[in-house]
A and B are shown apart, each in its own frame.
Chain A
Amino acid sequence: MKHHIKTVVSFEVMRQLKKPSFWIALLIVPLLILGITALSAFDSYNTTAAMAKTDLSQTFGITDQTKLTAPILAAKPKDQPFKLTTFANKAAGIEAIKKQKIDVYYFVPADLSKPIELYTPASNGSLITTSLEAPLRSLLGSIATQKIDPTYAAILSGSLSFKSINLDKDGKEVNLLGQAILPFAVLAIFYILISVFGNRLLFAVTEEKENRISEMILTAISARDLIVGKIISMILLGFLQIAVFIIPVVSIIVLNRANPTIAYFLSIIEINPVNIITNLLLLITSYILFASCSCLVGSLVSTAREASQYMAVSVIGMVLPFFFMSSILAPTASLLTYALSFFPLSAPITLMIRSALGTLPLHELLIGLSIIIISAIITLFFAVKSFQKNAINFSPVHFRINLRPKKSWKN
């Protein structure tokens, strides 16, 4: 029996590894991450460079009725932060814009509670002018800081920063965000796994039926060994997917650890072994449950296409918690949260989210985990039975619902 399962696992794993489509599906997520990261870095570099270039080359005009900028405007051009031409009135400034003598014109009203007007020639195509506001904001900010008590400068410049502190029952500081990052990463891996491997599992189970090999193979190996071998191979390939997913992400982080965003990200990560182990346990058991569901559905029908229609129900059940996030994220569990935590299909993601947030009590985790494990065993049992029963059923499945009452009310 072990020899048979080993043979099936080796065959299924090797044939998947030989398929280009497998590698495309396997690498598409990490490649997308790499691509988006590279694109984002390139875009960020280009934008910064372009903005720097624009700031230097553009010509700015101003009419400042507050006279706040007068000292700057009176200074020598080399002491000015950027080239600024002053206009006596708004009409003169607008005229300069119309004739495209300048690129940007600011009209600063005497009353600063009114908006500052920013003019640009339409031919410049400045659809979003936020970046053009920046030079004046910065200039006014620095003037305000000099004029006003620095205590209030941050309030005026709108750069107030907040520090969030979470305390546990003993008043000890808890880094909730940092602790949640890795468990949430495990949740993301689970989501990727079910997205990538859903159809692959269905195809693996229906393949023998689709290709009319069931009868030949089932005289050489029992249905149970065959399906167990297939599930094990899909789990192994799932681990490969996890490795392929993790390696580039970790590489990007390590190679860019000097990047301020990544450095900040790394500085807040806190490893909470309990939460991580809990989510890894949930990941493994949940994936086995998902694989069992796929096998059950695949065993009931005759083609992978047919199976994917029915499998959609399981997938919806699995991702259901995402639609009720506000309830799950609430500090106190509601009835809905309990229902989602203990319903076999929605339990994996709900429990992973709650575990990441630290709102999952141990007894609820144990109940949820037991439900997932028991459901996986029961589903697997029925999947094997169904596979055995339907292995040579080559015709499409029909679920008949008899709406007629069994007994007639008429005598």
Chain B
Amino acid sequence: MKQCISIKNFQMKFGDKTVIKDLSFDVYRGEIFGLLGSNGSGKTTTIRTLLNLLPKTSGELLIDGQPYHPSSKIKVGYLPEERGLYKKETVIDTFVYFGRLKGVKNPKAWALKYLKKVGIEDKANEKTEKLSTGQQQKVQLGITIMDDPDLLILDEPTKGFDPVNRKLLMDIIDQLHQKGTAIIMITHYMDEVERLCDRAILLKDGVAHAYGKISDIRKQFNNQTLDEIFVQVYGGNL
């Protein structure tokens, strides 16, 4: 499989504190990859550095063979853990703005089709602040995938999602996976990882504690479930 992300000897310090000591892993096109770890283990920092939102201390973080820049050829969709919307803008205007930035040809048409698909077409001209949390999540998700990304990074995607939105997200992940999109999932829900991910990495103390196919990781831990492995690795550190 063709490599999509390559991280080698990544180190990250915030002042005197080393968050990532030495991290190396790859993500391939067409796979769903789980980036796992307890709170504060450096998952979000790794993604932010990979996307050039934070400056690295050392190491090599490449997407499609080069450091990421918004002008890069590869299309990246990122649904961060800290996510919001322009409160005073209408749903459709928000889609059109992001769509234009992402180079979508007809963002309005795409948005209307998507809103219909997720059942909130009547909210197109509402200000986003008027939407419920679940409806806002649908809009955020739509913005993330509207340019049909080659790489989709989802940081705690189902956090706060109701079962309907969770199902919707899973369907979208499935569709994109079938199209060959590389997907990175940061999540604490091990059942999702077990069900969706091809491979995963477990971060602990700034290094990879386990890395590989899900089945291999389970073998490494005497065929325990990922939930059990997580508890064993992180103990009371959750």
Q: Contact: B82 with A212, CB < 8 Å?
A: yes
Known contacts: A215-B83, A218-B70, A219-B70. The answer to whether A392 contacts B54 by CB under 8 A is: yes
Known contacts: A211-B85, A219-B70, A219-B78. The answer to whether A7 contacts B101 by CB under 8 A is: yes
* Least CB distance, A237 to chain B, in whole angstroms: 16
Q: Contact: A220 with B102, CB < 8 Å?
A: yes
Q: Contact: A220 with B93, CB < 8 Å?
A: no
Interface size on A (CB < 8 Å)? 26
B86 within 8 A of A: yes
Give me 8 A-to-B residue pairs in the complex whose CB atoms sit less than 8 angstroms apart, sorted by A's number: A1-B71, A4-B70, A213-B85, A215-B48, A216-B78, A219-B51, A219-B53, A225-B70
B167 within 8 A of A: no
Chain A, Cβ-Cβ closest to B144: A216
B84 within 8 A of A: yes
Residues on B close to A: CB < 8 A? 48, 51, 53-55, 69-71, 76-80, 82-89, 93, 97-98, 100-103, 140, 143-144
Q: Contact: A221 with B80, CB < 8 Å?
A: no
Q: Contact: A221 with B101, CB < 8 Å?
A: yes
Q: Contact: A221 with B78, CB < 8 Å?
A: no
Question: What CA separation (Å) do A392 and B47 show in the bound complex?
Answer: 13
Q: Contact: B88 with A392, CB < 8 Å?
A: no
Question: What CA separation (Å) do A225 and B88 show in the bound complex?
Answer: 22
Residues on A close to B: CB < 8 A? 1, 3-4, 7-8, 11, 15, 19, 207, 211-222, 225, 389, 391-392, 394
Residues of B within 8 A of A220 (CB): 70, 98, 101-102
Q: Contact: A213 with B51, CB < 8 Å?
A: no
* Least CB distance, B107 to chain A, in whole angstroms: 10
Known contacts: A7-B101, A216-B144, A219-B78. The answer to whether A211 contacts B87 by CB under 8 A is: yes
Q: Contact: A15 with B82, CB < 8 Å?
A: no
Question: What CA separation (Å) do A214 and B71 show in the bound complex?
Answer: 17
Residues of A within 8 A of B100 (CB): 7, 11
Chain A, Cβ-Cβ closest to B90: A18
Question: What CA separation (Å) do A212 and B160 show in the bound complex?
Answer: 16
Residues of A within 8 A of B140 (CB): 216
Q: Contact: A4 with B69, CB < 8 Å?
A: no
* Least CB distance, B72 to chain A, in whole angstroms: 10
Chain A, Cβ-Cβ closest to B69: A222
Known contacts: A1-B71, A222-B69. The answer to whether A215 contacts B78 by CB under 8 A is: yes
Q: Contact: A392 with B82, CB < 8 Å?
A: yes
Known contacts: A7-B101, A219-B51. The answer to whether A213 contacts B84 by CB under 8 A is: yes
* Least CB distance, B196 to chain A, in whole angstroms: 22
Known contacts: A218-B70, A219-B76. The answer to whether A212 contacts B83 by CB under 8 A is: yes
Question: What CA separation (Å) do A60 and B75 show in the bound complex?
Answer: 91
Contact residue among A222, A389, A394 (Cβ-Cβ distance under 8 Å from B70): A222
* Least CB distance, B145 to chain A, in whole angstroms: 12
Question: What CA separation (Å) do A212 and B55 show in the bound complex?
Answer: 19
* Least CB distance, A73 to chain B, in whole angstroms: 75
Q: Contact: A216 with B97, CB < 8 Å?
A: no
Question: What CA separation (Å) do A327 and B85 show in the bound complex?
Answer: 51
Q: Contact: B87 with A11, CB < 8 Å?
A: no
Q: Contact: B83 with A216, CB < 8 Å?
A: yes
Q: Contact: B101 with A211, CB < 8 Å?
A: no
Question: What CA separation (Å) do A215 and B222 show in the bound complex?
Answer: 39
Question: What CA separation (Å) do A172 and B140 show in the bound complex?
Answer: 70
Residues of B within 8 A of A11 (CB): 93, 97, 100
Chain B, Cβ-Cβ closest to A14: B93
Known contacts: A216-B78, A217-B98, A218-B53. The answer to whether A211 contacts B70 by CB under 8 A is: no
Residues of B within 8 A of A211 (CB): 84-87
* Least CB distance, A315 to chain B, in whole angstroms: 25
Question: What CA separation (Å) do A214 and B83 show in the bound complex?
Answer: 8
Chain A, Cβ-Cβ closest to B128: A211
Residues of A within 8 A of B143 (CB): 216
Residues of A within 8 A of B84 (CB): 211-213
Contact residue among B53, B76, B87 (Cβ-Cβ distance under 8 Å from A392): B53
